[in-house]
Structure formats: C-alpha cells, structure tokens
Amino acid sequence: MIVVSSKIMAKFLHIADIHLGISRYRRFGTADRTRDFFEAWSDCIQRYALEEQVDFVLIAGDFFDTRRVEPQAMNHAMFCLMKLKAAGIPVIVIEGNHDQREASNQFSWLRSLSRWGFVRLLEPFYEDDGTIRFDSWNEQRGSGSYIDIETRDAKFRIFGTTWYGTTVTRQLPILVDEVRQHRREDAFNVMLLHTDVEGQMNRPIPALPVAKINELKAVVDYLALGHTHKNFEIDGWVYNPGSLEACSVDEYANIRGAYLVEVKEGKHEARLMRDYHQRPFVRFRFEVSGRATPEELHEALFAALRSEITPHDPDDEDSLAPVLELTLAGQLGFKSSLLEINRLREEIREEFHPFLCIARDITVPVEYAVATGSSEHYSRGDRERRVIESLIARDARYQLQATEMTDLTLEAKRLALAEEQPEKIVALIEQRLSALPVASMESAS
C-alpha cells in the first residue's frame, strides 16, 4: 500500500500493551481505572499520532486486555481508530498474549478490525505441515504477514509475528529466515514482536536471550517490541516502550511511554514520549512495630501520612488524583482482628481524596510472633519457612509432616510465581499428599 506524504521526514509512533478494557482493578471496587487506560490511549494518539501527523502507528501486541472484547473496550478502541482512519494514518497491529486468537477459532476481533480496514493485523501463516509462511499484505482480504508503506522520503517494510510464549527462542531462527527472504534492501525494515527479553523484566520466567535477538540485527533495522510493561532499549535498534499505563500496583514505579520515531536516509531517531494522561501513584509504607494498641497505631499512622502526603484538591481539574497505596508492615502489637484496615482506608479517602486507596497488610500478627522470634537474625526466606511451618504444625492432622508440607507449600508458591499451569501445580500437590503417611492424617479428624 502507498501513503503519499508531503513532510520532510518519515515519522511513526510505536506503542504496545494498551490493555483496553482492563478490569483487574475492579476488585478494589471503588474507582474505574478502565477509563484511565482509555484516556492514556486517546491522549497518546491525539498528541503523538494526529498532531505529529505520523505516517503510521505500530501496536506491538496486547491492544486489548482480553480476546473477548467488552463493548466498552471496543468503543474505546474505535474512538481513536476512526480518527486515525479519517486522517489516513494506518495502524499496524500484532497479537499479544492477552488478545491472541483462540487456536481453535479462526475469528478474532483483531482479524475483524483488520478486515474492516481499521487496523492492519500482521501475522505469520502456517502450511498444512506446520511450517511458517510469510505472505505479503492483501488489501482486499485485510490480511498478511508484512506490509509496505511508502512516504515521500522513506520506504518501510513492516513484518508481523504473533505471541510464541516460551517457544520464542526456538521459533526465532525460523522468523529470521523468513524475514531474510522477504526483507526489502531499499527499505527501512521493521519487525513487531511480543516477548520478554532476558535481563529486562522483574519476573523469574524464561525470556528471549539478547544473543538470540541479535540474530535479527542483520535483517531488521528497528525491532518494535511489546509485552514487558516497562521501557527499555537495546543498542539503538531494539525498542520496548512499556505499557501505556500501569496494569498493576507493582508496575507503578516503571518508566513507560510511547516511541515517536523519525526516519531519514535509513537512519532513525526514537524518542520516548511520556507527557500524556498517566495516573500518578503514591506509595506509602508504615511500620506498625511498637504500637501496642489500635489507637496508638492510628495516631502514628495519620501523623506520618499528614507529614508526607499533600491531600488532593477535588476542585483542581488540572491535576489528577493519585492512586495511594498504603502498606502496613512489621510486627503487630495486638490481635490482627483489631486492625480495621477498611476503616483506615475510608478515613484516608475522606482526608486525602486519592483517586483510589489500596491498602496492603503484610504485618505479622501477634499470634504468629513465636514463629518469627528474633526475626532480624533470619533471612526473609528463612522467616517465611518458619511462619509457614508453625502454622501447619498448629493443625494436629499435619503436625508430624509439617516439614514436608512446608516444602510442598513453598514449591507450589514457586511454581505459581513462574506462571506454571494450575493443573500441573494441583497434580504435584495431589501426588505429594498421597505419598505422606496416612495414619496420622486420620488420627486427628
């Protein structure tokens, strides 16, 4: 396809992980963060695509938070897609792990949007024997694996891939071969890929090694990544903008944004743009140790809050109320049932007017204090083990197997953090439980 442009320089916008329709915040029950994701998307498109008059927009996966798109999320998507279409700016999209088509279903909303001309969904195709095939873009069908975009000053060939999960390392050589066969010598070759990269994320799960990515360097000028929800760049040719908004409280501290990329004579310059609607976030941690009563804790907590946090002015329309995350840590000096965390949150809302107050209670209740003992001498891991073991030992049925049960608990936790399939974790638990001596389990019931 051809785009005629009269600008001096070719320009495109690279974003990823928009997560439209995100609903994971609803369990906090108070404020609609879903709207923030729309505002981020809409503000970003207005500023960096429409006002900058870019030649095209790249979305490197997870445009939608779920493959079954909610009506509201589709409204949010179309609000901008219609404007971009009217402005003649093509939107090039790949699937992410969140909006990937079900393997058994040939339909998906991304495919439909592509067919209707609102996005260009790029994806590899598969021969009957399972080998990957890259097809050129077909405008009538609204499908293809790569697409050409030409401006007055630059020619682009853009390649799409899909979500490969942990098989990405194995698939990459095949993708490199396909791109080598189909790349255009006289064009700026771009590839979209949704993957984690080793050393760039906080999760202990397999990711693509940088050495593997470098195999693409010979065939690709700009690798447009998505998936990791924080910004990073490698060697001036691999770019990951990060999600547009924070998808969980753990992501608030991450840098994220949108890449505005200018291309001239085969050289590019990518700038991370961050001046769009992003909900501010305030993290506040309070040590409860040494507060003997709920009243004492309350007084000390609010004194600390007042000295460090400026209440948001609800009448100030120019500033966004922040999400306030309160973490209570340390050893509780009284029964945990006396810690009324919901009431504390209510009072914080009334006094400081945050957009949302998330309260996390990671205190060690006085009931469990025995297990931690003089906790300073133990590592975090040791303390975790001692707490779990003492809790298990309180149950007469498991007293004799407390050590084995603790091992099992910790292993199940490790697997869950590594995003192992739930069925596999359940299978492991069943197998280990059946291996424990039965007599003692019956004796106490």
The contact mask relative to Mn ion for 85-104 (x = CB under 5 A, - = no) is --------------------
Contact flag: residue 62 with Mn ion (CB under 5 A): yes
Which of 17/39 has CB closer to Mn ion? 17
Which of 168/328 has CB closer to Mn ion? 168
Contact flag: residue 39 with Mn ion (CB under 5 A): no
Q: Which two tokens stand for residue 169?
A: 């390392």
The stretch among 13-21, 114-122, 367-375, 408-416 that binds Mn ion (CB under 5 A) is 13-21
Task: Answer whether 336's CB lies under 8 Å from 366's CB.
Answer: yes
Which of 17/221 has CB closer to Mn ion? 17
Q: Distance between CA atoms of 76 and 43, rounded to whole angstroms?
A: 12
In the complex, least distance from residue 59 CB atom to Mn ion, rounded to whole angstroms: 11
Which of 98/385 has CB closer to Mn ion? 98
- Which residue from 17, 65, 196, 262 is in contact with Mn ion, where contact means CB under 5 A? 17
Residues between 307 and 326 that touch Mn ion (CB under 5 A) = none
Task: Answer whether 258's CB lies under 8 Å from 273's CB.
Answer: yes
Q: Distance between CA atoms of 194 and 95, rounded to whole angstroms?
A: 8
Exposure b/e, 152-170, CB count within 10 A at least 16 = b = ebbbbbbbbbbbbeeebbe
Q: Scanning the structure block, which residue is given the tokens 């990671």?
A: 362
In the complex, least distance from residue 204 CB atom to Mn ion, rounded to whole angstroms: 18
Output the CA–CA distances (angstroms, integers) from residue 329 to 338, 365, 369, in the order listed: 15, 10, 14
Contacts of 185 (CB under 8 A, 6+ apart): none
Task: Answer whether 297's CB lies under 8 Å from 288's CB.
Answer: yes
In the complex, least distance from residue 74 CB atom to Mn ion, rounded to whole angstroms: 18
Output the CA–CA distances (angstroms, integers) from residue 76 to 31, 108, 119, in the order listed: 18, 17, 14
In the complex, least distance from residue 144 CB atom to Mn ion, rounded to whole angstroms: 24
The stretch among 16-24, 32-40, 211-219, 419-427 that binds Mn ion (CB under 5 A) is 16-24
In the complex, least distance from residue 165 CB atom to Mn ion, rounded to whole angstroms: 13
Host H or E run for residue 156: strand 155-159
Task: Answer whether 301's CB lies under 8 Å from 192's CB.
Answer: no
Task: Answer whether 278's CB lies under 8 Å from 229's CB.
Answer: no
Contact flag: residue 245 with Mn ion (CB under 5 A): no
If binding means CB under 5 A, how many residues of this protein chain bind Mn ion? 2
In the complex, least distance from residue 372 CB atom to Mn ion, rounded to whole angstroms: 37
Q: Distance between CA atoms of 2 and 254, rounded to whole angstroms?
A: 37
Which of 198/251 has CB closer to Mn ion? 251
The stretch among 9-17, 101-109, 202-210, 262-270 that binds Mn ion (CB under 5 A) is 9-17
Which of 22/57 has CB closer to Mn ion? 22
In the complex, least distance from residue 325 CB atom to Mn ion, rounded to whole angstroms: 21
Task: Answer whether 391's CB lies under 8 Å from 371's CB.
Answer: yes
Which of 36/62 has CB closer to Mn ion? 62
In the complex, least distance from residue 66 CB atom to Mn ion, rounded to whole angstroms: 11
The residues facing 226 across adjacent strands are 194
Question: Which residues are at the interface with Mn ion (CB under 5 A)?
Answer: 17, 62
